[in-house]
Amino acid sequence: MKTLFLALIGTFLMIAVVQADEAKTFEGDLACEKCSLKTGDKCADTLKVGETLYLLEQDGKRKTSEHVCSGTEKASVTGTVETRDGKQFIKVSKIEVK
């Protein structure tokens, strides 16, 4: 009985981890953290969705293939969300500027 209980707990934990890593699509304003937002010390992409600011990473880099240095562009970003050092990051798998 104890083994069955532990197996069920393990299964539920694995399901929670898999769901947390699901890719989602976000739509918002793409902007440069340094040049547009004046919050960073080097150029890096962000996506503002409502009041939430996501820092973007693509292929291990903070400057994406669709980098917007000045101003903002409407964009659709697909990826997985992580929280690090109290900040929200999206690991980008697809980005589309509209």
- Note the pLDDT tens digit of each residue in 8-30: 565 554 554 445 568 999 999 99
Describe the chain by its helix, strand, coil percentages, rounded to 5: 20, 45, 35
CATH number at residue 31: 2.40.50
Task: Please check whether residue 54 lies inside any domain of the structure.
Answer: yes
DSSP labels, 22-67: --EEEEEEEEETTTTT---SS--EEEEETTEEEEEEBTTBSS-TT-
- Determine the pLDDT at residue 9: 61
- Determine the pLDDT at residue 22: 87
Per residue in 62-97, pLDDT tens?
999 899 888 999 999 999 999 999 999 999 999 999
Task: Please check whether residue 68 lies inside any domain of the structure.
Answer: yes
Task: Please check whether residue 15 lies inside any domain of the structure.
Answer: no
Task: Please check whether residue 4 lies inside any domain of the structure.
Answer: no
Strand partners of residue 8: none
- Determine the pLDDT at residue 68: 87
Q: Model confidence at 61, in pLDDT bands (50, 70, 90)? A: very high
- Determine the pLDDT at residue 16: 47
Write out the residue range of the structural domain in which residue 47 sits.
24-97
Task: Please check whether residue 62 lies inside any domain of the structure.
Answer: yes
Looking at the structure of the chain, the number of domains it has is 1
**Whole-prediction pTM:** 0.76
Task: Please check whether residue 31 lies inside any domain of the structure.
Answer: yes
Task: Of 49, 50, 47, 48, give the one whose Cα is nearest residue 91.
Answer: 47
Task: Please check whether residue 18 lies inside any domain of the structure.
Answer: no
